[in-house]
């Protein structure tokens, strides 16, 4: 089966919420792997890629939350946008060696918990 047919099948069988959950799971696994690799992994391409992937996910989410067509309640959108801003700031600290990946992992896992309900 071609990649395009696989992706079309996957899209047809997943709800948007399931897709978000799956994506958060993939990104979070990359962050966990980067954290668990320890100090020797800090600064490696895989370590940087995990953080950048997480930042891109949250930036995309922030952009979607800011669109007029987003159906979430305004209070929830505002809270999630605040979290997205925090993720961006904390990610920059981590990349400078001033923070740790665990809070980013925890935030993602909390979001996954909400998506699973």
What global pTM score does this model have?
0.85
Q: Where in the chain are the domains? A: 16-116
pLDDT at 80: 97
pLDDT at 9: 56
pLDDT at 11: 56
Q: Which residues contact 104 (CB under 8 A, 6 or more apart)?
A: 31, 51, 54, 87, 90, 91, 94
For the cut 70, the answer to whether the pLDDT of residue 5 exceeds it is: no
- Topology of the domain comprising 16-116: 1.20.120
Extract the tokens encoding 26: 């993939």
Q: Distance between CA atoms of 44 and 90, rounded to whole angstroms?
A: 18
**CB contact at 8 A, 33 and 50:** yes
Task: Name which of 35, 53, 28, 10 is nearest 111 in CA terms.
Answer: 28
- For residue range 28-87, list pLDDT tens digits in order: 999 999 999 987 788 889 999 999 999 999 999 999 999 999 999 999 999 999 999 999
Q: Distance between CA atoms of 60 and 39, rounded to whole angstroms?
A: 29
């Amino acid at each position: 089966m071609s990649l395009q047919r696989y992706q079309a099948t996957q899209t047809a069988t997943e709800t948007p919420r399931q897709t978000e959950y799956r994506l958060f799971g993939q990104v979070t696994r990359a962050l966990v792997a980067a954290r668990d690799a320890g100090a020797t992994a800090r600064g490696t391409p895989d370590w940087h890629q995990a953080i950048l992937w997480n930042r891109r996910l949250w930036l995309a989410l922030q952009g979607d939350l800011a669109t007029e067509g987003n159906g979430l309640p305004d209070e929830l959108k505002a809270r999630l946008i605040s979290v997205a801003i925090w993720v961006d700031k904390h990610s920059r600290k981590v990349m400078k060696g001033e923070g740790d990946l665990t809070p980013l992992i925890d935030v993602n896992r909390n979001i996954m918990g909400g998506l699973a309900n």
